[in-house]
């Protein structure tokens, strides 16, 4: 049911994507780091072989205690995936509000660590979910990188083809961000832009180390109270209009019609963000 719920969120946010399911957890939601590592290796192989199932994004709605070891096989596998052009998003854990509870592999620098936020309709504000794990990591990194809605989400259930369920947890916030990553990468590929060096305007044909995406783009596409990243909400909640605005930064290099074509998928995020912004006054 956990995997079904996660997949249904991806299908809802990025409805034209293809979902490749590599099962690493049993029916009780338990598994081993070895199984996850091998699944990531399989994704890298598919990417290198340019198979019809070439993965662009790996969503890891799972985690294990962080041992502070950068040579942990799961972290090594994630770095290898990112080095091969696969974006990796991971849930940061549900052990909040205590500090220092970020799980592995969300603790890895270039893995996008996703926390959970709750919308408060009475006050039109957002609050980081109590259960959402907080940083810093054992190595002192500020994590999570971002937060997204992760409480009382209506998702698909494995009970039947039409069953639904309400789920809460960072596991269910993560696929929303992973789906945004899919749409972002698709938009950039339509324009022909795959890399932007820090501080430079992107040019077609460049190859982007995906590890730069978080530090380079999240400060521009998240809405937050503090100007700096923090150990509760990271850079804040991804805000749709800021995503479309970020895409628009390339208009001086490529024809604006190409930008708008690529932005069409991202406009879905923008519309979501505009609905959210019409209700929200403060993110805290």
Parse the chain into domains and list their residue ranges. Answer: 2-180, 183-283
Decide the pairing of beta strands 57-60 and 87-91: parallel
Q: What is the pLDDT of residues 221-236, one digit of tens each?
A: 787 766 778 999 999 9
Higher pLDDT, 121 or 144: 144
What CATH number does domain 2-180 carry, 3.40.50.1820, 3.40.630.30, 3.20.20.370, 3.40.50.200? 3.40.50.200
Residue 213, pLDDT above cutoff 80: no
- The residue among 44 and 121 whose pLDDT is bigger is 44
- State the Cα–Cα distance between residues 140 and 84, nearest whole angstrom: 26
Give the contacts of 262 (CB within 8 A, at least 6 positions apart): 186, 187, 188, 189, 190, 191, 247
Q: To the nearest whole percent, how much of the chain has pLDDT over 70?
A: 73
Q: How sure is the predictor about 28, in pLDDT bands with cuts at 50, 70 and 90?
A: confident
Q: Which residues contact 255 (CB under 8 A, 6 or more apart)?
A: none
Quote the tokens at residue 190. Answer: 């339509």
Give the 3-state secondary structure of residue 174.
helix
Residue bearing the bigger pLDDT, 249 or 60: 60
Model confidence pLDDT, tens digit, residues 80-129: 999 888 899 999 999 999 999 999 999 999 999 999 999 887 876 779 99
List the beta bridge partners of residue 155. 165
The residue with tokens 């505009």 is 274
Mean pLDDT of 4-27: 90
Q: State residue 61's pLDDT score.
A: 96
Closest CA to 135 of 41, 46, 235, 43: 235
Least confident of 8-22, 58-72, 91-105: 8-22
């Amino acid at each position: 049911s956990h995997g079904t719920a996660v997949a249904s969120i991806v299908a809802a946010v990025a409805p034209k994507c293809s979902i490749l399911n590599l099962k690493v957890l049993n029916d009780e939601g338990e598994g081993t780091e070895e199984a996850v590592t091998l699944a990531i290796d399989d994704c890298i192989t598919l990417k290198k072989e340019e198979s019809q199932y070439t993965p662009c994004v790996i969503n890891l709605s799972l985690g294990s205690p962080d041992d502070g070891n950068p040579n942990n096989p799961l972290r090594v596998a994630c770095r290898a995936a990112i080095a091969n052009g696969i974006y990796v998003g991971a849930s940061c854990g549900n052990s909040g509000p205590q500090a220092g509870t970020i799980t592995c592999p969300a603790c890895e620098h270039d893995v996008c660590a996703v926390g959970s936020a709750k919308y408060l309709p009475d006050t039109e504000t957002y609050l980081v979910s109590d259960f959402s794990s907080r940083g810093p990591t054992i190595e002192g990194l500020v994590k999570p990188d971002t937060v997204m809605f992760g409480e009382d989400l209506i998702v698909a259930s494995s009970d039947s083809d039409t069953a639904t369920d309400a789920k809460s947890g960072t596991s269910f916030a993560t696929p929303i961000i992973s789906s945004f990553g899919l749409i972002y990468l698709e938009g950039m590929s339509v324009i022909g832009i795959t890399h932007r060096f820090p501080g430079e305007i992107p040019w077609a044909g460049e190859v982007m180390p995906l590890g730069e995406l978080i530090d380079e783009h999240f400060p521009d596409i998240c809405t937050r109270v503090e100007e700096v990243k923090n150990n509760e909400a990271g850079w804040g909640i991804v805000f749709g209009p800021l995503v479309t605005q970020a895409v628009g930064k390339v208009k001086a290099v490529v024809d604006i019609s190409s930008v708008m074509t690529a932005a069409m998928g991202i406009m879905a995020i923008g519309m979501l963000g505009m609905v959210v912004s019409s209700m929200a006054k403060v993110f805290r």
